[in-house]
């Protein structure tokens, strides 16, 4: 009888371990935020932010979690240094006054085991607005070199820069900004 009780307790403990939240640190080497917007009604101007960090906590059993991502606005890179200086300026990102943009959420939506959407709050230039990041791809694997689980995916959203106080150049420089985020997190 004692062995049966011990076996039951061990099984319960193992089940509880599987249902516990798992935390991941964002892998800066495999995480990027890209942006694109229309330029004078003709072409699309694209760029990226090179400095992104944060953490992700997922509780798959509960279908919940939290995400916190910070983006260094001064790390904007369009491939044109003169344009990057303008983008960092007060008319666009205001990187001097607001060096970091944030996305935070505790609203993770799953479609079965697949993470389908993150609904949270995006803060840019000191202004916070609701933002939904839609998942186009998400998966996890065990990294042979790290001997740890790595999860990641591709997410997309669209913002209006005017909602965040950046109106310079409208309507010639587009108001709609498409964000594309590729993120990987390493299990802690």
Domain boundaries, the chain: 21-187
Dihedrals phi, psi of 52, to nearest 5 degrees: -135, 135
**Is the model's pLDDT at 176 over the cut of 80?**
yes
Q: Which is nearest to 59 in space by CA: 31, 87, 92, 18?
A: 18
Segment 114-127 shows an average pLDDT of: 95
Say which DSSP state 50 is in: S
Structure tokens at 16: 């509880």
Residue from 144, 147, 157, 159 nearest 183 by CA? 157
Q: What is the DSSP letter of 115?
A: E
Q: Residues 25-56: pLDDT tens digits?
A: 999 999 999 999 999 888 999 999 999 999 99
Say whether pLDDT at 149 is over 80.
Answer: yes
pLDDT per residue as tens digits for the range 66-117: 999 999 999 999 999 999 999 999 999 999 999 999 999 999 999 887 889 9
pTM, rounded to two decimals: 0.85
DSSP character at residue 87: H
Q: What is the CATH number of domain 21-187?
A: 2.40.128.110
């Amino acid at each position: 009888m004692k062995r049966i009780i011990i076996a039951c307790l061990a099984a319960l403990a193992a089940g509880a371990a599987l249902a516990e939240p798992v935390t991941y640190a964002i892998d800066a080497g495999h995480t990027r935020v890209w942006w694109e917007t229309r330029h004078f009604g003709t072409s699309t101007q694209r760029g990226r932010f090179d400095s992104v960090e944060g953490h992700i906590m997922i509780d798959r059993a509960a279908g919940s979690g939290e995400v916190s991502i910070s983006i260094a606005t001064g790390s904007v890179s369009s491939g044109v240094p003169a344009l990057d200086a303008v983008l960092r300026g007060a008319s666009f990102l205001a990187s001097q006054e607001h060096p970091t943009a944030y996305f935070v959420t505790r609203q993770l939506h799953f479609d079965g085991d697949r993470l389908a959407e993150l609904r949270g709050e995006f803060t840019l230039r000191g202004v916070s607005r609701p933002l939904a990041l839609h998942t186009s791809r998400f998966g996890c694997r065990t990294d042979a070199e790290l001997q740890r689980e790595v999860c990641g995916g591709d997410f997309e959203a669209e913002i209006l820069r005017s909602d965040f106080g950046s109106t310079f150049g409208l309507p010639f420089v587009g108001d709609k900004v498409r964000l594309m985020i590729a993120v990987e997190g390493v299990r802690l």
